Amino acid sequence: MNPVDEAAQYLRAHLPSLPETGIVLGSGLGAFADAVEDSTVIPYRDIPHWPASTAVGHPGKLVAGRIAGRSVAVLAGRAHLYEGYTPQQATFAIRVLGVLGVGSLILTNAAGGINPAYRPGDLVLLSDHINLQGSNPLAGPNHDAWGERFPGMTFAYHPPYREIAQRCAAGLGFVLQNGIYAGLLGPSYETPAEIRYLRAIGADLVGMSTVAEVIVAVHMRMKVLAISCVTNMAAGMLNQELDHQEVLATGRANAERFEQLLRSIVAHLHD
């Protein structure tokens, strides 16, 4: 049995029901896991082959239960390439969710704002991405049972889900920005020159996650929605140094609004 199937088998045996929606929480956003009702909490260390989350602000646990009456699996913490994981390890959780039958995936992250119209605390709905991480999680032999060799990425960010998210934000009385996410390797933050380059090629946001997860989710025919919290303006946008504690603090400060939005989206995702 391969490691993905082994992890999925373990979760089938330990979860009271299989989730229909997966939610991945980014830096400083882990509090949403506490909102899951009838929850079953499984630390990542207990799941066979599951990579540990070592980044600050990533608790490292799977919380399964119900949000707005829907069956969900919330991942409080993710694995990053900059932690030394391979692209396959960094997307292991997404593979397992796909094998469990999860058809809808909501990804969240903390990101640096490049678009000058953004402000720290803005929530941005991703419409596309630019992969500058130097790798692709689909490289190597293709597992045909998971997906086709050359999956298309034109509609990677499922347009109907984006429409639902916009309606939910409007219903809560705030504007959900739209943007293109540039994924870089990290862990160092970008230089001002790199940010000028990213802006020139069309990026609105920059971060160190999400892109590989989206590629794998699309490969496994999952419908993807992704939302960034602008936790800081990127290097050179303001005359100050970047600080990871600022990233975490901004994420926490906006956690309640983010939680309201996610709850509303989950409630309407399968209408």
Smallest Cα–Cα separation from 65: which of 38, 92, 104, 93? 38
The two three-digit tokens of residue 110, written as one number: 């903390």
User: Across the strands, what pairs with 86?
Assistant: none
Residue 80 a catalytic site member? yes
Amino acid at 13: A
CB 50 within 8 A of CB 73: no
User: Across the strands, what pairs with 206?
Assistant: 112, 182
Residue 131 a catalytic site member? no
Residue 213 a catalytic site member? no
Q: In angstroms, rounded to a whole number, what is the distance separating the alpha carbons of residues 42 and 39?
A: 10
Residue 2 a catalytic site member? no
Residue 153 a catalytic site member? no
Instruction: Identify the active-site residue in 80, 129, 158, 219.
Output: 80
Instruction: Identify the active-site residue in 71, 209, 228, 254.
Output: 209
CA 251 vs. chain centroid, Å, equals: 14
Instruction: Identify the active-site residue in 55, 64, 71, 83.
Output: 83
Residue 264 a catalytic site member? no
Residue 110 a catalytic site member? yes
Instruction: Identify the active-site residue in 33, 55, 73, 208.
Output: 208
Residue 27 a catalytic site member? yes
CA 130 vs. chain centroid, Å, equals: 15
What phi and psi values does residue 25 have, to the nearest 5 degrees? -100, 135
Instruction: Identify the active-site residue in 7, 8, 27, 219.
Output: 27
Residue 219 a catalytic site member? no
Smallest Cα–Cα separation from 187: which of 69, 58, 68, 93? 58
Instruction: Identify the active-site residue in 7, 58, 156, 254.
Output: 58
Query: Which residues are catalytically annotated?
Result: 27, 58, 80, 82-83, 110, 208-209, 232, 244
